Structure 1
Amino acid sequence: MNKEQTTATDSTSISPDYADSVTGVFLLAAFLSSLVIIIARIDNWNTSYITDFVALLAASSLIALTDALVLKIFNPFLKSLSTRAGLATAYLLLMVTTFTIGYVLYATVTGHWPLTAPSNRVLLSFLQIFVLATVNYAIVLMILLHRAKTNDIKNSFQAANLQVLQSRIRPHFMFNSMNSIAGLIRNNPEIAEQALQDLADLIRVLMADARKLVPLMAEIETSKQYLKIEKLRLGDRLSVHWHLKSIPKDCFVPSLILQPLLENAVYHGIEPSFGGGVIDIDMRSDMRRVQILIRNPLPEDGERSHRKGNQIAMDNIKQRLIQHFGEAASLSSGRRNTIHITKIIFPIVV
C-alpha cells in the first residue's frame, strides 16, 4: 500500500468521541434498563426488595458515572487507535471498571467477597444486572460510533457547503480589472505589476479553504487590495474612508465577507453615479463582538442604475456567517435618504 492509499484509509477511519457528554447518560441508561428487567421479574414486592432496589440503583449510578470518567480519561488514547481496536479497548475498560467497582461495593456493603459469600438474591440480582449491562455496553459503544459517523457526515456536508458558497463569489471586477491592468502595462508598468500582484492575492483568497477562519486584519487588507484595483479603473470617482476603532488584532472571521459587500458598493453605488462618491467603512468593537458599517451613495433617480439586486452576495455572506457563528452573527442592509448602509455583527473569535 502506497502513501496516498494509507492516507486515504486513515482519513476514512472514524472513532467515537468517548468523552462525549452524553456517554455517562448512555451508560447509566444501560444499567437502569438492566435494573428494570430484573425488577419486572419480581412477582411479590416487600420492604426488603425496595431497600435492595435503592442500593442497586445507587451502585448502578456510581458504576455508570465512573465508566464515563474512565472513557473520558482514556479518550485521547482510544482515538489514537483504529476504530475496531478503540471499540474493543473501550469495551474491555468498561468491563474491568464495572467488575472491579461492583466487586468492591458488594464486599463493602455485605462484608463478604462475592465469590465467598453465600448465594442470596442481592448477589444474584447484581450478577444479572452485570451480565445485562455488559450486553448493553456493546449497544452504547455502537451508538457512540453511529453518532461519530453522523457528525462526520454533517461536518463534511457543512464544509462542502461552505466551499460551494465561497466558490460562488465570482467578482464582477475580475474582467474589468484585467482590462484596466492591460491599459497600464504600456504607460505605467510598475503600477500594472503591483495591480497584478494584488489581483493574484485576491484570487488566492478566493481559492482558499472556506472552512478556515482568517484574521480580521487580513480580511481588511484583502479588501484594501480590491479597492486599490477598482481605484485604477474609476480614478477620482472612487474615494474610500476607513474608520477602525478598537478592533482586536487577533479576531478571526470567514474569508471574503467584506470584499463582496464593497464590490456591491462599487457596482451598485459608485459606478452608476456620474460623479462617483465615497465608500465609508466603520468598524468598532465592544470586546465581545465586532460591528461593521459600510456606507455608499446611491445613484440619483435620473442616473442609470443598471445593476439591480445585490441580494445574492448578501445571502451568501449571511449563510456563511451563520454556519460559522450561529445566531450570534447577523447581516442587514437598509437605506437612509441617498445612502445605502450595510451592517455586519459577529462575535469575537480568537
Structure 2
Amino acid sequence: MHKKSTSKPSQANFFLPELCQAEALLGLVLLAELLVLVLVLAEPINQGFDWSRLALTSLFVQWVVLLTAALLCVLRPWLAHLKAVPASLITCLIVMLLTFLCSWATQYFNAEYLGIYLRGESLGVFYLRNLLISLIMSAIVLRFFYLQSESKRQQQAQLQARLEALQARIQPHFLFNTLNSIASLVAIDVDKAELAILDLSDLLRASLANHNGLSTWQQEVNLAQQYLSIENHRFGERMQLDWQIENVPPQLPIPHLTLQPLLENAVLHGIQPSVAGGTISVQASYQHNSLQLKVSNPIPEQVSPHKGMRLALDNIQARLVSHFGPTAKLITTRQGAVFIAHISYPCSLTPTEADQDHENLNR
C-alpha cells in the first residue's frame, strides 16, 4: 500500500510523457516525420524530388521511434525514480542503441536499400550520422518535454496557491456573517442562540475538515443545511426553503464551500431585508456528465447587490474554473423580483463512484 502511494506521485511528476497513450505516440510519430522531411529536403535536388529516399528514410526513422516508444513505455516507471539528468542520459543511450540496431538490421537484411541510402558514403559514416542525428534529436525532444513539465508544475503551484488564497478569503466571510446571525439571536431567544452555537460548532468542523479544495455534493448539502438550521433559528417562518434535486450523485465532486455561500447571499440579500421574508429555491440536476445548480431568492425593492455579494460570487467562479476548466460558469441573472445564481460545470464520475447508491436529497 505504501509503495503504491509513493510511486504514483513520482510518475505523475516525471517529465517524460506516457508514450503508451495514443495522443503522445501520435505527436512523436508526426515529429519524426517532420525530421524525415528536413533530412531529405536538406540534400541537393538535382533531378527532382527523390520520393523513394523519402519513403525509405521515413520507414527507418519510424521503426526507431516506435521501438523507442515501446521500450520507454515499459521502462518509464523505473526511470521516474531517477533524477532528470540521469533519466535523460539513459533515454538518449536507449535511442542511440535502437538506432544502431536498426542501422545494423538495414545493413544485414536490406543491402539494396542501404545502397540507395548511402550514395557513395562509407558504412562507418552511415552509422555515425545516424547515431549523431538520433542523439541530437532525442536531446532536443527531451529538453522540450522537461521544459513543458516544469511549466505545468509551476502552473499547478500557482493554481494551488490561488485556491488556498480564495479559500482563506471566503471562510472568514462566512464565519463573520454566521456569528452576526447568532449575536442577533441572543437578544431574542437565549435557548435558540445556544442551539445555533452548537450548530455553528458542527458547521465549522465540517467546513474546516476539507483541505484539498474539492468536496462532494452530499457534503455540500449537509454543510448548507447546517447553515440554514442556524438561520432558521433567527428567521423562523419568514424563511421558506424549496429543494428540487434530481439525479445528483452524492459523490459528485464540487468545490468546497460552493452551495453555502450562495445560500448565505440569498439569506442576507433576499430574506433579511424583507419583513415578509420569502422562499429560497435550490434546483439541482445531473445530466450528460454536467451539474446544473440554481439558487434563487426574492429581491426586496429597496435592496441592491453590494461588494460583499460580488466577492463571494467571484470566489466561487474562480474556483470552478480552476477545478473544472473554462467551461465551468457561474451566471447571475435577475428575473423580475427574483435573483438567480446558476452554476454549471462538466464532471464525470469514476465507475466506482457511479455504482454507489444515490440518496434522495429532495426535501
TM-score by length of 2: 0.78
- Among candidates 176, 183, 187, match of residue 180 of structure 2: 176
- Among candidates 190, 193, 203, match of residue 199 of structure 1: 203
Structure-2 residue corresponding to 1:40: 42
In 2, the alpha carbon distance for the partners of 1:349 and 1:195 equals 33
Structure-2 residue corresponding to 1:110: 111
Change in 2 beyond 3 A, CA 1:297/1:31 = closer
**Percent of aligned pairs with the same residue?**
27
**Match for 2:130: what amino acid?**
I
Matching of residues 154-173 of structure 1 within 5 Å: 154-169=155-170, 170-171=173-174, 172-173=176-177
In 2, the alpha carbon distance for the partners of 1:132 and 1:113 equals 17
SS of residue paired to 1:134? helix
In 2, the alpha carbon distance for the partners of 1:92 and 1:129 equals 13
In 1, the alpha carbon distance for the partners of 2:160 and 2:98 equals 39
Contact 1:63 1:98 in 2 (8 A): yes
**Alpha-carbon shift at residue 230 of structure 1 (Å):** 1.6
In 2, the alpha carbon distance for the partners of 1:83 and 1:181 equals 61
**Alpha-carbon shift at residue 320 of structure 1 (Å):** 1.6
**Match for 1:330: what amino acid?**
K
Contact 2:242 2:281 in 1 (8 A): yes
Structure-1 residue corresponding to 2:246: 245
Structure-1 residue corresponding to 2:341: 342
Change in 2 beyond 3 A, CA 1:337/1:33 = closer
1:223 aligns with 2:224: yes
SS of residue paired to 2:242? strand
Q: Which piece of structure 1 moves more, 243-252 or 255-264?
A: 243-252
Structure-1 residue corresponding to 2:121: 121
**Match for 2:314: what amino acid?**
D
Structure-2 residue corresponding to 1:4: none
**Alpha-carbon shift at residue 38 of structure 1 (Å):** 7.2
**Match for 1:225: what amino acid?**
Q
Change in 2 beyond 3 A, CA 1:34/1:336 = closer
Structure-2 residue corresponding to 1:308: 306
| Gap runs ≥5 in structure 2 | 1-5, 350-363
Structure-2 residue corresponding to 1:208: 211
- Among candidates 178, 186, 191, match of residue 187 of structure 1: 191
Write the deviation string for residues 275-318 of structure 1: whole angstroms up to 9, x where unpaired: 212111111222421211212111134xxx27635222222212
Change in 2 beyond 3 A, CA 1:299/1:83 = same
**Match for 2:208: what amino acid?**
R
In 2, the alpha carbon distance for the partners of 1:190 and 1:86 equals 62
1:261 aligns with 2:281: no
RMSD: 3.5
Change in 2 beyond 3 A, CA 1:122/1:165 = farther
TM-score by length of 1: 0.80
Write the deviation string for residues 86-128 of structure 1: whole angstroms up to 9, x where unpaired: 22222222222222233223322218999xxx99538444641
Kindly tell me the number of residue pairs found equivalent between the two proteins.
331
Contact 2:17 2:24 in 1 (8 A): no
**Alpha-carbon shift at residue 133 of structure 1 (Å):** 2.0
